[in-house]
């Protein structure tokens, strides 16, 4: 009887241990960049940048952003959350109709460096399936929630056919905190360089929020960029025009 109880105790301990999250190792940025699977900046001399928006679509702010982008004939990449897409599919359709790029930002926006491969795969697949049902194809670009990355997150993304897109480290104005529009403008326009990937957010607060400094700042940012000879393109277009070598069999245009 004691042997049976001891066996059951050891079995229980082993099961609990196996269920505990295991921290995946994280390599240097240079190491990941050499693989071609993770992008922070794009090497180009052509005066172009990629403006990206995370966490949407938002029923109020995303249409306002689309109006401003249209004013300057600027194209952007929207890293959308599946749970928002499900609620506002018509905005996703508008983004595609107006020439913008759709990318995967998971379904439930789980902020967890120790997310399991199974959970991340489910998040990516559910978002892909939903996006495909609305616009007819699955996105090939993916941005980890909060920019968190490690071997497990990157390897899981690659196994799911994704290219991981982060952003230029000096082009994150932390607009999700809703700072003044002037600060957002300054952080983006100061020392802007060809190949920069700019991080912004089109979801702030709740769907009922009515004030967004990102929207206020965007017109000024685009005016500055175009007056200084920059063109705003999608991430995939900038990759393609820079002759970036993609890891096989990756295809940024599906």
- Active-site residue numbers? 54, 201
180 CB-contact burial (10 Å; exposed 0-12 / middle 13-18 / buried 19+): exposed
Rounded alpha-carbon distances, angstroms, from residue 94 to 91, 136, 159, 239 = 5, 14, 30, 23
Candidates 130, 115, 50; CA nearest to 83 is 130
Q: Are strands 38-39 and 76-80 parallel, antiparallel or unpaired?
A: unpaired
Distance CA 51, CA 86 (A): 23
Residue 166, CB half-sphere, CA atoms under 13 Å: how many?
19
Tell me whether strands 76-80 and 163-165 are parallel, antiparallel or unpaired: unpaired
Residue 11 buriedness (CB in 10 A; 0-12 / 13-18 / 19+): exposed
């Amino acid at each position: 009887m004691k042997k049976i109880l001891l066996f059951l105790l050891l079995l229980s301990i082993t099961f609990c241990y196996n269920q505990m999250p295991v921290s995946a190792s994280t390599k240097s940025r240079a190491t990941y960049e050499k693989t071609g699977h993770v992008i922070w900046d794009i090497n180009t001399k052509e005066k172009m940048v990629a403006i990206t928006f995370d966490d949407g679509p938002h029923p109020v702010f995303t249409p306002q952003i689309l109006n401003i982008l249209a004013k300057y004939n600027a194209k952007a990449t929207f890293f959308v959350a599946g749970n928002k897409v499900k609620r506002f599919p018509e905005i996703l359709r508008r983004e595609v109709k107006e020439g913008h790029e759709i990318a995967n930002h998971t379904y439930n926006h789980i902020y967890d460096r120790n997310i399991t491969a199974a959970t991340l795969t489910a998040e990516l697949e559910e978002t892909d399936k939903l996006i495909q049902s609305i616009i007819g194809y699955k996105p090939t670009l993916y941005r980890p929630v909060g920019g968190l990355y490690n071997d497990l997150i990157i390897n899981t993304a690659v196994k799911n056919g994704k290219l991981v897109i982060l952003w230029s480290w000096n082009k994150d104005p932390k607009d999700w905190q809703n700072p003044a529009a002037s600060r957002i403008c300054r952080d983006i326009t100061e020392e802007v360089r060809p190949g920069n990937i700019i991080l912004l957010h089109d979801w702030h607060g709740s769907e009922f929020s009515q004030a967004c400094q990102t929207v206020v700042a965007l017109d000024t940012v685009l005016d500055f960029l175009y007056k200084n000879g920059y063109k705003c393109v999608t991430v995939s277009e900038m990759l393609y025009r820079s002759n970036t070598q993609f890891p096989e069999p990756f295809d940024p245009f599906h």
